[in-house]
Amino acid sequence: MMRLRHLLTAVLLVSLCANVAAHRQSGVVSTLRYSTNGELEITHRIHAHDALALLPDSESLESVEGRAHVALHVENRFGLRTGADQPPLALSILGVEVDGNDVYVYQVAPLSDVPVELLANNSMLDDTAAAPAHVVNVEIQQRMVGNTLASADRWQSLALP
């Protein structure tokens, strides 16, 4: 009787864990870091499953073409401005890296002064997932503030530390 109870408990725990893992929300976590060399360094972390949904069936994340496809998606779907009346910053892609279950896309923008205002336009994954999470962390002088953006194709103000 004791063994049966332990077996049923183990089966219940395994099924609960599998159920929780199956309900991961799609989304992108972007971290903006102002460096002392006058650049805004941007890292986007996308779960590999979400990144795969961006690729044509013939591509994979292991291929250069597949990673380039993800980088282009980020480039076309993420923008920053230093004010509502300012033009978008010129963001350059530095590279793409696959690490386990995550894909990292690295960008950089020249920014001579510490920003006093930042606006983001983030529509990454909007075409492939229902209401993906758009989290943008901003780090300036070793202080960080997190922002959750609405899933919309519009400019939104970011809280700064």
Residue 88 has pLDDT above 90, yes or no: yes
Dist. CA 11–CA 6, nearest whole Å: 9
Residue 46 has pLDDT above 90, yes or no: yes
Of 106 and 130, the one with more pLDDT: 106
Query: Taking Cα atoms as reference points, which of 141, 148, 150, 145 lies closest to residue 160?
Result: 145
Residues 6+ apart with CB under 8 A from 121: 78, 79, 80, 88, 153, 154, 155, 156
Percent of the residues in the chain that have a pLDDT greater than 70, as a whole number: 84
Mean pLDDT of the chain: 86
Of 97 and 113, the one with more pLDDT: 97
Choice among 15-29, 39-53, 141-155 with the minimum mean pLDDT? 15-29
HEC secondary structure over 19-80: HHHCCCCCEEEEEEEEECCCEEEEEEEEEHHHHHCCCCCCCCCCCHHHHHHHHHHHHHHEEE
Average pLDDT of 78-101?
Answer: 96
Residue 21 has pLDDT above 50, yes or no: no
Residue 3's pLDDT band, with cuts at 50, 70 and 90, is low
pLDDT at 141: 87
Please say whether the beta carbons of 91 and 109 come within 8 A.
Answer: yes
Residue 27 has pLDDT above 60, yes or no: yes
Please say whether the beta carbons of 74 and 42 come within 8 A.
Answer: no
pLDDT at 158: 93
Residue 61 has pLDDT above 70, yes or no: yes
Average pLDDT of 142-150?
Answer: 90
